[in-house]
Structures are given as C-alpha cells and as structure tokens.
Amino acid sequence: MNKQAGREPVLSVANLSVEIPTRQGTLTPVDKLSFDIEQGRILGVVGESGAGKSMTGNAVIGLLDPPAHIAGGEIRLKGRRIDNLAREALRKVRGKEIGMVFQDPLTSLNPLLPIGEQLTETILEHLPVGKTEAQNRAVAALEEVGIPAAAQRINSYPHEFSGGMRQRVVIALALCAEPSLVIADEPTTALDVSVQAQIIALLKRLCRERGTAIMLITHDMGVIAETADEVAVMYAGRLAEIGPVRDVLTAPIHPYTQGLMASTPLAAKGKKRLSQIPGAMPRLTDLPDGCAFNPRCPIAKDKCRRPPAPNLDSGGGNAACWYASGARS
C-alpha cells in the first residue's frame, strides 16, 4: 500500500497467521495477513462475520483465547516486535500502547465498579502518576469524551449511564493511557442508529487530535466510508483487497469487493435494486482449494480452483485475485 517514505507505520502486520487446533484438524481463521497503519490514520477492516476481523484484532493485542494462537508472521508496533513478547511485557503494551474498544458497551464495563475507579486503575497501572493526579486525569478523560458533569459522575456505576454514554466511557478507558493505536471492534454495532454517528465522530476527533492510529473493525460499509482512510477487505481469514478507501469503494477490483459494493445501499445509489452475492462464506472446516471465494465468484476459472491461493501480489498488490479487473497502480 502507499507508504510514505521515511515514516514508520505505527502498526505493521506481516504474514500474520492464527491457528486453532481442533479435533477436525487445524483451522486457520487468519491466514497470512499483511497491512500497515500509519500515525493518525484509520484502517477499516471489513468482512462478513467469521471472516477473521475480530480474530486479527485480538491477535494484535495479544488476547487470543486458547487454543487459538499466532502461528506465523510478525506484528510490529512502532518498529518493535510484539507478537513474541512474554506475558508480562505484553500486558504492559495493552492499555498503554494499544487501547481497545469492544462492541457492546453494556457488557464491557464491570457492573460492580464505579466508572471512576475503572479509569483510575487503568491510569495508575500505566502512567507514573499518584492517586490524586489519576483522579484528575480520569475526570479530564470523561470530559474529553463528552460526559456532562464528569466530576460528579465519576462515582456513578455503569448501569446509571445510557448505551451511548457508556460507549463514551469505554472510549475514555481505551484512550486514558494515551496509546498510539486503538483497536475498535464494531464500536457502534450495539448502539442506537442515532448515537452511532456521534461515537464515530468522537473516536475520529480524539485520534486526529492525538495522532492515534485506529484499526476499525466493522461490517458496516457506511461507517468505513465516513471514517476510514484505508480499507482492508477480509474473506475467510484472508485479505481480499486493500487500498485507500475511496479507491476500494468506488473502483473495487476483487470480485468479492465488487459484489459487496453492489450489495451495499451506499455504493449502489441510483440503481433500482441491490444485487447480492450468491451462496455463503465457506466455513473454516471446509475451505475450497485455491481461492476461498471461487465457489461464489462470477469470473472463477480453473486456476482459481487449484492451489495455491492467490495473494495480494497475484492481483497487482491490492487484491488477492488472479483475474483482478483494472488493477490500480
């Protein structure tokens, strides 16, 4: 992807694979994934559920649930390898260097602790400050995410906030130790439509101000269009297409992305009816040979049904397809 010379990406993922050993054999929910995110930029990761988006996010922050594990590749944060760190070293990276925002604000806050305590414990863990200072920073963090009367509400419990307000608290928690990367896993999916735009705008503003890079995991093309700078499309654990958001949305080159765009109201403006991709994404237990998309692909040929599977190089660097149409340069 378009790398600006001389600037090191905040997050650099190269050939990342995640494997889950099961009785039916080893599954590969994330297969040789590569992407970079630069400072202050937002990478949108899209795909259907089960495509490996969340698994990628969890791998980056080192929170894969055993038996899932990183089986290959590298993850570098500001040039430092973090995929092979020891437990304790990795813990210090979490929260401090990488913040995470989960999907459901109703369940991501501990119901039995006041939000202020959850903030101060995070600040005290990562920043060299005393209790009083941590308190002040907690209030400041809440003010920043737009919680009214933050100083009074610091002792409130999560259940005393609405869903949107809770997600603001979650964002405050993710950002309170000033990480250089935030992974937001479907941050608006569980929210009311009316609140979604506010949360996205908030996330975007805070990261612009601080120069924080964001990995935004979502299945919502609309959110990607409004927010992301680059977009990575995942299919069955593999990268299907990656590129600047405008290019991918307006001129997709992978048949899967094309199908996805044609089925999205946003991109299909003006057309009478939305089209849809026939079939469903294969399960990890029975991936087809060759390109994982071949059973549903309108242009699939023999080559697509035979190994090896295409990678980004096969499609000119931006799409994992042997027959990518109109490769962008």
Partner 1 sequence: MLAFAIRRAFQSFIVLLVVGLVAFSMFNFVGDPIDNMLGQERTGADIERLRVQLGLDQPFPVQYYRFLEGAVQGNFGISYRQGRPVSEVISERLPATLELAFVSAVLAVIFGVALGVFTAIRRNGWAANTIMTLSLIGVSLPTFLIGILLIYLFAVELGWLPSFGRGDVVDLGWWRTGLLTQSGLKALILPAITLGLYQMTLIMRLVRSEMLEVLRQDYIRFARARGLRDKSVYFRHALKNTLVPVITVTGMQLGAIIAFAIITETVFQWPGVGLLFINAIRFVDIPVMAAYLMLISVMFVSINLIVDLLYFAIDPRLRLDRRGGEK
> Residue 173, interface with partner 1 (CB under 8 A)?
yes
Question: Judged by CB under 8 A, does residue 306 bind partner 1?
Answer: no
* 58-77 positions binding partner 1, by CB under 8 A: 61, 63
Q: Measure CA 242 to chain center.
A: 13
According to the binding rule CB under 8 A, does residue 81 interact with partner 1? no
Q: How many residues does the chain have?
A: 329
CB-CB contact of 98 with 181 (8 Å): yes
**What residues numbered 114-153 form the site for partner 1, per CB under 8 A?**
121-122, 125-126
Question: Closer to partner 1 at the Cβ: 94 or 153?
Answer: 94
Nearer to partner 1, 174 or 225 (CB): 174
- Give yes or no for a contact between 316 and 328, defined as CB atoms under 8 angstroms apart: yes
Q: Give the residue with the Cβ less far from partner 1, 215 or 281.
A: 215
Q: Does 157 bind partner 1 (CB under 8 A)?
A: yes
Query: Residues 20-59: x/- map of binding to partner 1 (CB under 8 A)?
Result: ----------------------------------------
**Nearer Cβ to partner 1 (157/322):** 157
What is the distance in angstroms between the CA of the first residue and the CA of the last residue of the chain?
10
| 237 binds partner 1 per the rule CB under 8 A | no
Q: Which of 267, 292, 265, 270 is nearest to 281 (CA)?
A: 292
- Burial call 198-237: b when 16+ CB within 10 Å, e when fewer: bbbebbbebbeeeebbbbbbbbbbbbbbebbbbbbbbbbb
CB of 260 to partner 1, least distance (A): 28
**Stretch touching partner 1 by CB under 8 A, among 8-16, 170-178, 212-220, 264-272:** 170-178
Phi-psi region of 192 (alpha: psi -120 to 50; beta: other; left: phi over 0): beta
- Identify the CA nearest to 199 among candidates 146, 142, 141: 146
Q: Residue type at 21?
A: P
Identify the residue among 15, 26, 84, 110 touching partner 1 (CB under 8 A). 110
Q: Which of 113, 149, 274, 327 binds partner 1 (CB under 8 A)?
A: 113
Question: Is 100 or 154 the residue whose CB approaches partner 1 more closely?
Answer: 100
The span from the CA of 31 to the CA of 301, in Å, is: 22
Q: How far apart are CA 171 and CA 169, in angstroms?
A: 5
Q: Which residues bind partner 1 (CB under 8 A)?
A: 61, 63, 91-96, 99-100, 102-104, 107-113, 121-122, 125-126, 157, 159-160, 170, 173-174, 177
